Each structure stands twice: as structure tokens, then as C-alpha cells.
């Protein structure tokens, strides 16, 4: 399967114009601001892209920097990001993250995964996304789409997204690291869906082992 990855990436890039970019990447295209990307990623957890997009816009109308954001009260942030999932907890996390950025990082979002992981509420997915999309540095962001599809292809055999990240770090050519998340998330949202994927419309049908797929269209 390893020799097929070049063809898979080529085919997905050929079809990506038909799919909308993941919301965080869409935000980054408009303004490549690591802080905005960090906050929008926190908002995006268990939240639909359209809600995340609108919530990010509303929140950044109130404040654009960590120093400005940490001065907002919980109620203002909650109102701005509602109806994002767990919006009350996320509001507290946003304030805590901003306080840490101001007090420990001079208001600058770190460009290092290990440093980002020290921030409250930041896991490996968020850290990798900030590094790759915000700073355009090598990293592999693995969400449920990337985890599912990488295993469905037969490219890796892993049980968790974290396992998938480290398996991909060993196997996926580094030249594809940054774009891999965007491609697979968009592909997963539009074609390679969790249940009953649209295999008849799949641009990489000939390269996919369809591991675990019982029903498809």
C-alpha cells in the first residue's frame, strides 16, 4: 500500500476543488493568525463547521489578541461562541489559555507542539493544527476523519487517533504532512463518510482496501 500514497494524494488534490475546506483552514486562508487558529480549533470541538466559523467571527469582533481576550468576562465569550458544544467550558478554557499566553509566552502562540500541549484544553490534534496551519511547519493533525480514512485505506492499522499520528509520522512522506489533514477531512466530510461511504464517487477507489466497510454507496 505504501507505494500508492503518491497516487492517493494526487487524486485527492485533483478532487479537492469540489469540497469545502475544513473550517480552521478556511479561516487560516483569510488570515494566517496562529492565535485565531488556536481559538477556532478550541471552539470546533464537537461543533459543526458552520457554527465554528460564525462563533470565531463573533468572538474576534470583541478581541483580537490574547491580552484583549483575557479581559473579556465569561458571559461575553459564552454569548459570542454559543451554540458551540460545551460553550461554557470552552469560554473558561479560552480565558485560561489567553492568560497563560500573556503571562508565560509574551502573548505569542508557541510554534512547538510540546509547548502548545502545556496549554489548558490543547491536545495533540489542536497542537498539530496550530503548527501546520498557523505556522506552516511540519506536523500531522489527526482527527476522527484522518484516523478513520487512514485505516480504511489500509495505510495504517491503529486503534486511536494518537496511534495514527505516530504511525503516520513513521510512514507518511514528510512532504505530505501539512496537507494530509485538509485533504482527508474534506474527503471524509463529503465522500468517505463514517457510515455508508460514497465509494461510487471516490477518486481513490482503486487504491482503497475498504477496511471495515460493510455498506457503501
Q: So which residues are the catalytic ones?
A: 125, 143
User: What does the alpha-carbon distance between residue 75 and residue 127 come to, in Å, rounded to a whole number?
Assistant: 26
User: What does the alpha-carbon distance between residue 174 and residue 182 come to, in Å, rounded to a whole number?
Assistant: 15
Name the grid cell of 82: 454559543
Give the ranges where the chain is alpha helix by DSSP (H): 5-15, 23-30, 34-44, 49-62, 66-69, 74-81, 87-105, 113-116, 124-129, 135, 144-153, 161-171, 177-190
SS3 label, residue 214: coil
Name the grid cell of 120: 489548558
User: What does the alpha-carbon distance between residue 42 and residue 64 come to, in Å, rounded to a whole number?
Assistant: 15
Amino acid at each position: 500500500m505504501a507505494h500508492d500514497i503518491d497516487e492517493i494524494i494526487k487524486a485527492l488534490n485533483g478532487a479537492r476543488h469540489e469540497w469545502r475546506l475544513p473550517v480552521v483552514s478556511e479561516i487560516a486562508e483569510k488570515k494566517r493568525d496562529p492565535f485565531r487558529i488556536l481559538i477556532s480549533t478550541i471552539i470546533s470541538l464537537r461543533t459543526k463547521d458552520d457554527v465554528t466559523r460564525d462563533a470565531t467571527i463573533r468572538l474576534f469582533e470583541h478581541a483580537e489578541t490574547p491580552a484583549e481576550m483575557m479581559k473579556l468576562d465569561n458571559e461575553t465569550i459564552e454569548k459570542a461562541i454559543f451554540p458551540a458544544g460545551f460553550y461554557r467550558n470552552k469560554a473558561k478554557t479560552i480565558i485560561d489559555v489567553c492568560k497563560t499566553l500573556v503571562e508565560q509566552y509574551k502573548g505569542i502562540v508557541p510554534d512547538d507542539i510540546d509547548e502548545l500541549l502545556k496549554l489548558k484544553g490543547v491536545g495533540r490534534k489542536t497542537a498539530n493544527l496550530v503548527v501546520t496551519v498557523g505556522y506552516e511547519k511540519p506536523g500531522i493533525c489527526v482527527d476522527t476523519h484522518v484516523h478513520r480514512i487512514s485505516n480504511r485505506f489500509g495505510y495504517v492499522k491503529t486503534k486511536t487517533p494518537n496511534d495514527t499520528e505516530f504511525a503516520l509520522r513513521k510512514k507518511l512522506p514528510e512532504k505530505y504532512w501539512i496537507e494530509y489533514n485538509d485533504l482527508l477531512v474534506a474527503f471524509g466530510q463529503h465522500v468517505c463518510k463514517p457510515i455508508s461511504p460514497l465509494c461510487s464517487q471516490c477518486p481513490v477507489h482503486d487504491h482503497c482496501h475498504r477496511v471495515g466497510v460493510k455498506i457503501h454507496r
